[in-house]
Structure 1
């Protein structure tokens, strides 16, 4: 319940839970007391299919006992476990705590497996089939949701198999990216570039850097205005890994290709975030995963998997 900014929902859940149990108890009590009018033959007078009559018999005691036990169990459960809004329960149990215990147990069981790879250099590990099989499973469980099961990414999510790296593709940088995550921010640059026509000219100049189809006249006019972008991307558009600024001269387009896509990014900017994995994975797991990712673009045997 901590996700809610108001205590209303905590009270709402508490009231609904207790009211539901109270309603069940009241229904059981009222039906046990009420008696439908019965005739001399102990029927209620309701007849179906000409001769099927409803008898006016009370619920069996064992059945009533089960209802009572269910109500008592429900109240006991709400005391012992979280169920009444923000109350934690007397046993202190939580799904998050249970998850942490399972993860800790799994990590302890797998520690001997990862220990053999702790001191193994990345290039050597990338040639180890067992290590790469482990890395592949780690990748599918933690990275494939964004980068794809084949690691080739999609619009807005980098391709990890092509050797084009925003923050550097050596093993240490890949491990750093996985551990700490990345936040890439390009601010809106339209005001710094100039008029809408200037923005269009810069977009064509950017296209010209990679030899992509462009308007050469506009590209020539946009070159001078590109200085507003060169602080991050460099004067030749080669990018700056220290800043995570993309290389604009290699025909690899992370957020879309063409004049319109580039104009849109210049006008509105772009923010991308890769979440840190240090809370989810151990240091040894990150080392194996980073080696697998490195091997996707550096080890022919791994890249062909």
Structure 2
């Protein structure tokens, strides 16, 4: 019940819950002790459909017994489990704890399955159909939300099925990216490039690096200004996996294509984050997942 921002609401919920249960018990006691008025024929005087009369019989003892058991059970439940504001219950049960316990049990049961693949290199795991089926499920559950179910990404989310890698596409680099996550930061570079016209010139020079349609005059003027960008993207814009700087000389555009898109990024910069999966996935699961991702753009080694 961490949503409570003051003790008042926690106490309010606890008191309201206990009072409700006690009122139910009081109602049962009053009804059981106070018989309704009845005529000499033991009816209440209510008549339906001409001849159907309501008899004034007491509630069956088994019904009263069940009602009492329900009240006692409710009180015992509130002692054992959370239900009274911030009170955690004697058993200290929580949905988070139950989830963690089920997750740990699942991991223990799957350990023998992953143990075989953990001892194999990524290139060979990628050639195991059973391992790739597991890797695909891991990908769909943990990665597809951003990279798509086909791993081909979308605007702002890298395509994992080609050979264009921001931080390197070796098995070790893929595992590193999955395990630790990545934060890609390009600062606003307009001030370093020059004025608004200089920014447009640099954008056209960037387009020229990949042979994309561009203004050749502006591209020529922007080449010297690109020096401010080359510190990360390299001479000729070939990229730098060490810092996650994209290759600007191919035709892979992560954040949009064309002069306007490039100008926008130069002016405003861009920050992208891939969350770390360490702690969510075991080391063996990350190994299988990395094998699946690597196998999307590489030829695996098939088992003999």
The TM tier, using the shorter chain, reads 0.7 to 0.9
Following the alignment from structure 1 to structure 2, what is the Cα–Cα distance between the partners of residues 50 and 102? 61
Larger radius of gyration: 2
Partner residue in 2 for 1:139: 139
- 2:295 is aligned with 1:298: no
1:273-304 deviations in Å (ceiling 9; x for gaps): 222212122211211111111111102799xx
Determine helix, strand or coil for the equivalent of 2:264: helix
Measure how far apart 1:173 and its partner are. Answer: 0.7
Measure how far apart 1:55 and its partner are. Answer: 4.8
Measure how far apart 1:120 and its partner are. Answer: 1.2
Following the alignment from structure 1 to structure 2, what is the Cα–Cα distance between the partners of residues 5 and 234? 52
Following the alignment from structure 1 to structure 2, what is the Cα–Cα distance between the partners of residues 291 and 232? 29
Instruction: From the superposition, tell whether residues 110 and 195 of structure 1 become closer, same or farther in structure 2 (CA, over 3 Å).
Output: same
1:167-187 deviations in Å (ceiling 9; x for gaps): 111000111111111122223
Following the alignment from structure 2 to structure 1, what is the Cα–Cα distance between the partners of residues 161 and 219? 31
Partner residue in 2 for 1:92: 92
- Preserved CA contact (<8 Å) 2:124 2:300: no
Following the alignment from structure 1 to structure 2, what is the Cα–Cα distance between the partners of residues 260 and 127? 43
Measure how far apart 1:197 and its partner are. Answer: 3.7
- 2:81 is aligned with 1:77: no
User: Any residues of structure 2 matched to 1:1-305 within 5 Å, and which?
Assistant: 1-2=1-2, 10-11=10-11, 13-29=13-29, 54-299=54-299
- Preserved CA contact (<8 Å) 2:81 2:89: yes
Measure how far apart 1:36 and its partner are. Answer: 6.0
Between 1:31-40 and 1:252-261, the stretch displaced more is 31-40
Between 1:139-148 and 1:165-174, the stretch displaced more is 139-148
Measure how far apart 1:236 and its partner are. Answer: 2.0
Instruction: From the superposition, tell whether residues 118 and 67 of structure 1 become closer, same or farther in structure 2 (CA, over 3 Å).
Output: same
Measure how far apart 1:129 and its partner are. Answer: 1.9
Gaps of 5+ in 1: none
Instruction: From the superposition, tell whether residues 28 and 248 of structure 1 become closer, same or farther in structure 2 (CA, over 3 Å).
Output: farther
Following the alignment from structure 1 to structure 2, what is the Cα–Cα distance between the partners of residues 248 and 156? 15
Following the alignment from structure 1 to structure 2, what is the Cα–Cα distance between the partners of residues 49 and 195? 92
Give the number of equivalent residue pairs. Answer: 302
Between 1:124-133 and 1:57-66, the stretch displaced more is 57-66
Following the alignment from structure 2 to structure 1, what is the Cα–Cα distance between the partners of residues 9 and 238? 52
The TM-score with structure 2 as length reference comes to 0.84
Between 1:183-192 and 1:271-280, the stretch displaced more is 183-192
Gaps of 5+ in 2: none
Instruction: From the superposition, tell whether residues 284 and 39 of structure 1 become closer, same or farther in structure 2 (CA, over 3 Å).
Output: same
Measure how far apart 1:220 and its partner are. Answer: 3.2
Determine helix, strand or coil for the equivalent of 2:158: coil
Between 1:112-121 and 1:54-63, the stretch displaced more is 54-63
1:178-201 deviations in Å (ceiling 9; x for gaps): 111112222333343344444333
The TM-score with structure 1 as length reference comes to 0.84
Instruction: From the superposition, tell whether residues 273 and 30 of structure 1 become closer, same or farther in structure 2 (CA, over 3 Å).
Output: farther
Instruction: From the superposition, tell whether residues 53 and 126 of structure 1 become closer, same or farther in structure 2 (CA, over 3 Å).
Output: same
Following the alignment from structure 2 to structure 1, what is the Cα–Cα distance between the partners of residues 219 and 198? 10
Measure how far apart 1:161 and its partner are. Answer: 0.5
Q: CA RMSD in A?
A: 3.0
